[in-house]
Amino acid sequence: METVLDTTQTLIEVSAIIAIVAVAASVILLLYRAILGPTNPDRAVALDTIGINLMALAGLIAILLVTTKFNDVVLLIGILLFIGTVALAKFLEKGVIIERDVD
Amino acid sequence: MTRTNDIILRTTTTLIAFILLGFSAYLFFAGHNAPGGGFIGGLMTSAAIVLMYMAYGIKSMEKILPINFRHIIPVGLLIAALTGIGGLLFDQPFLTQTFAYFQLPVLGKTELATALLFDLGVYLAVVGVTMTIILTIANDRGEEEGV
């Protein structure tokens, strides 16, 4: 029984580390897009996706550290990401983020 | 220029702002035993309000939420100061906090701490400051255009 538990623990740790490496690689590729993206919407989409990868990283690190304290952080990053992306999109399309009178 | 139609943004805003306000209340009340507290709860509440402002514009939001956020800052500071003075009433040093267990109808045995009232002051001050900063900047541009 002990050995089975040990094996599952190491399995979870190893798979979490592999997933972290994969997510980190995707963040690097997205950084390439965010820096060299020819237009501003390209950069906005790249930053949005980097944020989603950060959510994944927070979740994976919570698995690695065996804690539940990061669960709020995942939700928080998602919410702030959504608001930031909406603000960026509004700025790119209309030039103002908070309009005086919509219609 | 064709008129833009924000129906997707507005429909998701009604749902997401609701979830955001619930999450901010959760963070505010969880602050005693888990990550969270007045500061991040206040920031989440103001994020929800900013999202509604982005979706509906300043004019409609002033009808929906007729609050001058500048008045919330002194209210929060007053609550925080009064919880400190409350300690003095019981011959304790300033800002002494205490807690007790109560039998509440729905929640059962609950620990109620006076630190929650202090946190409420922090919460209101953070909401007031954040919304004042954002709305002052947003209003500034509109007045310039009007001139």
Q: Please identify which residue in the block is written with the tokens 């045995």.
A: B109
pLDDT confidence of residue B26: 92
Strand partners, B102: B110
Under 8 Å between Cβ of A74 and A55: yes
pLDDT band, very low/low/confident/very high, at A96 (cuts 50, 70, 90): confident
pLDDT confidence of residue B141: 55
Q: What is the pLDDT of residues A8-33, one digit of tens each?
A: 999 999 999 999 999 999 999 999 99
Under 8 Å between Cβ of B46 and B63: no
Whether pLDDT at B93 is above 60: yes
- The whole-chain average pLDDT of chain B stands at 87
Check B27 against A98: CB less than 8 A apart. Answer: no
pLDDT confidence of residue B115: 87
Q: DSSP letter string over A41-69?
A: HHHHHHHHHHHHHHHHHHHHHHHHHT-ST
Whether pLDDT at B147 is above 50: no
Does the CB of A43 have a partner CB in chain B at under 8 Å? Answer: no
What distance in Å separates the CA atoms of residue B18 and residue B27, rounded to the nearest whole number? 14
Does the CB of A95 have a partner CB in chain B at under 8 Å? Answer: no
Check B51 against A83: CB less than 8 A apart. Answer: yes
Check B47 against A79: CB less than 8 A apart. Answer: yes
> pTM for the complete prediction?
0.85
Check B44 against A76: CB less than 8 A apart. Answer: yes
Check A99 against B58: CB less than 8 A apart. Answer: yes
Q: Which of A72, A80, A82 sits opposite B36 (nearest CB)?
A: A72
Residue of A nearest to B1 (CA): A94
> What is the b/e burial string over A39-67, where b = at least 16 CB atoms within 10 angstroms of the residue's CB?
eeeebbbbbbbbbebbbbbbbbebbeeee
**More confident position, A41 or B144:** A41
Q: What is the pLDDT of residues B51-76, one digit of tens each?
A: 999 998 888 888 988 989 999 999 99
pLDDT band, very low/low/confident/very high, at B144 (cuts 50, 70, 90): low
pLDDT confidence of residue B107: 77
Looking at CA atoms only, how far is residue A100 from chain B in angstroms? 5
Check A86 against B54: CB less than 8 A apart. Answer: yes
Among B135, B141, B143, the strongest candidate for a mutation testing the A interface, having the largest count of A CBs within 10 A, is B141
What distance in Å separates the CA atoms of residue B127 and residue B142, rounded to the nearest whole number? 23
